[in-house]
């Protein structure tokens, strides 16, 4: 048995944390579900004796490393000698603020036309679709490099995250142009990367849906936890808990 620190939100959206004793992180999740608690993070190490799903965990780690190579800025936008960080992630905070931001092209953030377009790619694995990208879009995106987005402490956390991510994408474009590329080619690759991420998320979701038909509950929840570990490692959205609508 081991002690695990878990974090969750109350029905009033208050961030809370507590401790639980369990034989593994998966067991901790299972116990908490029975109590009606849905933690967004459980911290702690499985005891050495816990061997179940070890192979899946090892595979998930290896896959995460492979996906880092596939999805990292340096592989998608190869620039000799550059080591750009992995910076894109799911924006966390109030869901209503995030949904409204996406619906309004983050109007409250004061983005210019080019930055608004790049903001569509801020969160990995979120489907980006539009009828046709005009030449004016690439021009607007390149023009947005003339300034740097600054965040203020007084701004909402969700807005600060979005602006930091967009500025990181702009840094990626600056490096890409210095290596001989152009904004139009960069946007093509940006779309390709997003499509790959969406395809990977959909495949993981389909695997879980298929497993629901044959797996026992304990095994299903263990698979769900393993898949979410893979997705979390590369910044993709989390799969819904089995049974959650």
- pLDDT, residue 69, reads 39
- The answer to whether residue 243 scores a pLDDT higher than 50 is yes
Instruction: Say if pTM beats, i.e. exceeds, 0.85.
Output: no
Could you tell me the pLDDT band of residue 55, with boundaries at 50, 70 and 90?
Answer: very low
Chain mean pLDDT for the chain = 81
Instruction: Pull the structure tokens for residue 234.
Output: 């590369």
Question: In this predicted model, what pLDDT tens digit does every residue of 64-81 receive, in sequence order?
Answer: 544 443 444 434 443 333
Question: In this predicted model, what pLDDT tens digit does every residue of 113-148 receive, in sequence order?
Answer: 999 999 999 999 998 877 678 889 999 999 999 999
- pLDDT, residue 47, reads 61
Q: What percentage of the chain exceeds 70 in pLDDT? A: 82
- Is 208 exposed, middle or buried (CB count within 10 Å of its CB: 0-12, 13-18, 19+)? buried
Q: Are 96 and 156 in contact (CB under 8 A)?
A: no
Q: Could you tell me how many residues make up the chain? A: 245
Q: Percent helix, strand, coil in the chain (nearest 5)?
A: 55, 10, 40
Q: Are 71 and 183 in contact (CB under 8 A)?
A: no
Q: How many CA atoms lie within 13 A of 21 on its CB side?
A: 1
- pLDDT, residue 88, reads 83
Question: In this predicted model, what pLDDT tens digit does every residue of 10-36 receive, in sequence order?
Answer: 777 777 888 998 888 778 888 888 888
Higher pLDDT, 148 or 88: 148
Nearest Cα to Cα of residue 189 among 165, 82, 197: 197
Higher pLDDT, 132 or 7: 7
- The answer to whether residue 206 scores a pLDDT higher than 60 is yes
Question: In this predicted model, what pLDDT tens digit does every residue of 183-197 receive, in sequence order?
Answer: 999 999 899 999 999
Higher pLDDT, 215 or 64: 215
Other Cβ atoms less than 10 A from the Cβ of 215: the count is 16
Could you tell me the pLDDT band of residue 245, with boundaries at 50, 70 and 90?
Answer: low
């Amino acid at each position: 048995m081991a002690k695990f620190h878990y974090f969750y939100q109350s029905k009033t959206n208050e961030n809370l944390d507590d401790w639980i004793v369990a034989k593994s992180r998966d067991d901790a999740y299972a116990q908490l579900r029975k109590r009606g608690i849905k933690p967004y993070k459980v911290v702690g190490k499985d005891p050495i004796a816990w061997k179940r799903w070890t192979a899946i965990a090892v595979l998930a780690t290896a896959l995460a490393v492979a996906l880092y190579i596939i999805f990292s800025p340096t592989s998608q936008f190869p620039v000799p000698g550059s080591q750009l960080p992995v910076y894109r992630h799911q924006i966390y905070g109030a869901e209503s603020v995030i949904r409204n931001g996406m619906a309004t092209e983050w109007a409250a953030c004061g983005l210019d036309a080019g930055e608004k377009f790049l903001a569509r790619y801020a969160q990995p694995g979120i489907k980006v679709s539009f009828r046709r990208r005009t030449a004016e879009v690439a021009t607007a995106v390149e023009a947005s490099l003339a300034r740097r987005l600054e965040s203020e402490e007084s701004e909402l956390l969700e807005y600060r995250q979005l602006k930091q991510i967009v500025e990181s994408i702009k840094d990626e474009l600056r490096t890409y142009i210095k290596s001989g590329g152009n904004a139009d080619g960069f946007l093509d690759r940006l779309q390709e990367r997003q499509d790959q991420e969406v395809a990977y998320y959909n495949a993981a979701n389909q695997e879980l849906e298929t497993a629901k038909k044959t797996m026992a509950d304990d095994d299903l929840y263990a698979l769900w936890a393993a898949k979410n570990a893979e997705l979390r490692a590369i910044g993709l959205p989390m799969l819904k808990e089995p049974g959650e609508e």
